[in-house]
Amino acid sequence: MTIFPVDSVSENSIISTSLEKSKYFVVYNKNSIKIEPNPSTYGVELIQWLNDKGVSSIIIKEMEINPYNKLKNSRIKIYHVGDKAKKINEIINSFKNKKLELLNNDRMLEIVKLHEGRM
């Protein structure tokens, strides 16, 4: 199961720049796509929800250091959608076709630095 953050339930919604602060998550499981409300108000609760759901991968545009530190020792893989805003179907197609970058620690820290520089 793969998830990524969005800020609305519209099928034209684009990926959110915040994992913890997003209003919703797209939950993609093979050919099933659902949009669920973000169940958490803080990072530890979100990580527990991800683990309880059996999430195996997350797709991000940006991420802050705290959620990354909570995720980096988990079994959950983190993929980068790129720097441009993309809609739900574009993201899922890119994921299915293995066109998203699987992030390692060094690359993830570059993304965190860029994100925090915009805040």
d(CA 94, CA 92): 5
Give CATH superfamily name and number for 2-118. Answer: Dinitrogenase iron-molybdenum cofactor biosynthesis domain (3.30.420.130)
**What are the tens digits of pLDDT across the range 28-53?**
998 899 999 998 877 778 888 898 89
d(CA 72, CA 20): 15
d(CA 59, CA 4): 5
d(CA 95, CA 89): 10
What's the burial of 35, exposed, middle or buried (CB within 10 Å: 0-12/13-18/19+)? middle
The separation between the first and the last C-alpha atoms of the chain, rounded to the nearest angstrom, is 30
Predicted confidence at residue 119, as pLDDT, reads: 59
Amino acid code (one letter) for 99: K
pTM of this structure:
0.91
Every domain of the chain and the residues it spans = 2-118
The neighbouring-strand residues paired with 27 are 3, 34
The pairs formed by 9-12 with CB atoms below 8 angstroms and a separation of 24 or more are 9/35, 11/87, 11/88, 11/89, 12/87, 12/88
Arithmetic mean of pLDDT, 16-24: 87
**Could you tell me the two tokens for 99?**
């066109």
**What are the tens digits of pLDDT across the range 74-110?**
889 999 999 888 999 999 999 999 999 999 999 988 9
